[in-house]
Amino acid sequence: MNQTPTVDKLIRVNMTDQSVTITDYPEKWRMLGGRALSARILLEECNPACDPLGPDNILVLAPGLLAGTSAPTSGRISVGCKSPLTGGIKEANSGGDPGQHLGRLGYRAIIVTGQPANRDGRWGLVVTEQGVTLERADDFKGMWNYASCAKLLTRSATASAISIGPAGELMLKGASVATTDNSKSRRPARHAARGGVGAVMGSKCLKWVFVDPGKLSARQAVNQKAFAALNKSFSKIYRSSPRYEMFRHGTATAVPLANMLNTLPYRNRTEGQNPHVDTLDGNHIRETFEKRGGGMHNCLAGCIVQCSNVVHDENGEYLTSGLEFETLSLLGSSCDINRWEDVADLDRLCDEVGLDTIETGAAIAVLMDSGGMPWGDAKAAKNLLRAIDQRSETTLDVGNGAAHVGRKRKHARVPVARGQALPAWDPRPLKSAGITYCTSAMGADHTAGFVIVPNQSDEDALLASQETQIVNAVVDSSGFCAFLAPTLDEVREFYSLYLGREVGREDIAGFGWRCLQDEWTFNDRAGFKPADDALAECLTKEGIGPGHSLVFDVAPEVLARMRTRQPPRESLYGVPPMGA
């Protein structure tokens, strides 16, 4: 079925009867985008008690409010659903060009409901200036992401794609959703990775979304002249600030800092420092650029951060891109795999089959810790991921996440919160990170808001977590990348000019707080209780650091105060989204 687009609209796709409907965008959602829009749709339209992999779950693909405009680094997209991994609400955020392209086309979200009766088939959604069409895509069934997107994008030189690999098709709970980047090759190297969002897309039998804006120009602000001037001045200030220097070589270079802070997970978090840290240092990747090729690039059009590293192998051939600190930590250090080149291979394999590198690395570490694979066996780890096409039992176990592997192998040391594996930043030396993992509706997700400050008191850590959760909710809703590190004052200035109305300080903080409330309410209705605001026992009883003295010991009554609205401090409006 084909529908013709209008201005500011929603795409609703019913996979039960394969129908597509385009509706006007509701005025009540005018100020919402990205994560906040996803949360509101799920709260209003999805049954929180539903089976995450059943027909009643809803998949939301929502560009940020500013996506498609000329605002710098503003085209990120949110993928939302009820998570099959945590059982609660989930938003996973990704770069690449699909968010920009949907924004230019005027589509504020794609809402996918239902489930085909014939689960053997595959479908693709085509979104262009001419209309939206759902078509059969059976010839893409089982394809890995790189081959799938290369085949799909031969249709147009101006298009981008959203896709899942075989892990999503198999509905593995660690499955990711890939988005193609801004490179000439349009590689599916950016991922909305956490929480099993790819499994939900797979449960709908939706293999890909093709988005082609053609020659459409950027979306215009109501006050376009002032908006363009703000873009220019903000970009100039950013490039001369410490924020730019922090990410100009990518996050991979954070490995030595994390090791120094006792937050580089080693051997399934039995230690916070890795004795082989030097061979995982992301600075070595940068050193290869001159001889092997590669370099830094922007994953989405209009990005001024350019934090994505393009990694070539020793023969000068492209291998992977966006090899992040988290991947080096979880697929590398936590598994005692200590050559960054091996981690690059594993990163590419995860991107190909469509798995979250954090969840997968944590699951392999639990497998190793329980005696199912030798520590540091990179070859075995690569072969395990390649075996997804044969549906190897161990591969499927790892693809279902760390908690699943722990249950299957009856292993006690499983570092999770709400069933989701912890990212690299350890809650024992970084209390505010632990508070975020416990209290965020997302579970163990550092992008929900964390602060890289050790030795905080419980009260300081609680306030820091609360503030950064509010800021991150706003940034994830705007379309801005967190690495751009815009403050609430900066976001509201862009909003005011774009929307043509003054967005005050209370307004912008309120948007973030309401997003968190929507997410908490969804989880409450899904059956979560205050007792679920907790970390696995291995993080509260097993220490790391000097004398193994560092444990997460924030009291439940402190955690319970997270939801109590406190008057925002003046400093809130200057807090960067990735901590302070």
Q: What is the pLDDT of residue 114?
A: 98
Long-range (24+ apart) CB contacts under 8 A made by 374-378 are 375/267, 375/335, 375/336, 376/335, 376/336, 376/337, 376/338, 377/337, 378/337, 378/339, 378/342, 378/345, 378/346
Return the H-helix or E-strand segment holding 473: helix 458-478
Distances from the Cα of 382 to the Cα of 147, 333, 361, 373, 493, angstroms: 19, 15, 11, 12, 47
Q: What is the pLDDT of residue 43?
A: 98
Q: What is the pLDDT of residue 249?
A: 85
Residue 456 one-letter amino acid:
Q
The rounded distance, in Å, linking the Cα atoms of 148 and 185 is 13
Q: What is the pLDDT of residue 566?
A: 66
Distances from the Cα of 95 to the Cα of 58, 74, 246, 311, angstroms: 21, 9, 18, 18
Across the chain, which has 580 residues, the per-10-residue mean pLDDT values are 58 98 96 98 98 98 98 97 98 97 98 96 97 98 98 98 98 98 96 98 98 96 97 95 84 95 98 97 94 95 94 96 97 98 98 98 98 98 98 98 98 97 97 96 92 93 94 97 94 97 94 96 97 96 96 95 77 75
Q: How buried is 432 (Cβ within 10 angstroms: 0-12 exposed, 13-18 middle, 19+ buried)?
A: buried
The rounded distance, in Å, linking the Cα atoms of 465 and 20 is 41
Residue 2 one-letter amino acid:
N
User: Which candidate, 296, 308, 364, places its Cα nearest to that of 334?
Assistant: 364
Q: What is the pLDDT of residue 105?
A: 97
Q: How many helices and strands in the chain, by DSSP H and E?
A: 22, 18
In contact, 281 and 348? CB cutoff 8 Å: no
For residue 65, what are its two tokens?
């409010």
Q: What is the pLDDT of residue 541?
A: 97
The rounded distance, in Å, linking the Cα atoms of 426 and 412 is 18
Q: Are strands 206-212 and 123-128 parallel, antiparallel or unpaired?
A: parallel
The rounded distance, in Å, linking the Cα atoms of 356 and 192 is 8
Q: What is the pLDDT of residue 4?
A: 36
Kindly state the DSSP code that residue 503 receives in the 8-state scheme: -
The rounded distance, in Å, linking the Cα atoms of 86 and 196 is 9
Q: How buried is 117 (Cβ within 10 angstroms: 0-12 exposed, 13-18 middle, 19+ buried)?
A: exposed
- Ordered structural domains, the chain, with CATH: 2-212 (3.60.9.10), 250-424 (1.10.569.10), 427-580 (1.10.599.10)
Distances from the Cα of 381 to the Cα of 208, 269, 275, 363, 422, angstroms: 27, 18, 21, 11, 20
Q: What is the pLDDT of residue 565?
A: 66
The rounded distance, in Å, linking the Cα atoms of 40 and 515 is 8
Q: What is the pLDDT of residue 244?
A: 85
Radius of gyration of the chain (CA): 22
The terminus-to-terminus CA distance of the chain in angstroms comes to 49
Residue 144 one-letter amino acid:
W
The string over 505-539, giving b where at least 16 C-beta atoms fall within 10 Å of a residue's C-beta and e elsewhere, is eeebbbbbbbbbbbbbebbeebebeeebbbbbebb
Distance of alpha carbon 479 from its chain centroid, rounded?
Answer: 13
Q: Tokens 């039960």 — which residue?
A: 16
User: Which candidate, 50, 103, 120, places its Cα nearest to that of 81?
Assistant: 50
Residue 266 one-letter amino acid:
Y
Predicted TM-score (pTM) of this structure? 0.96
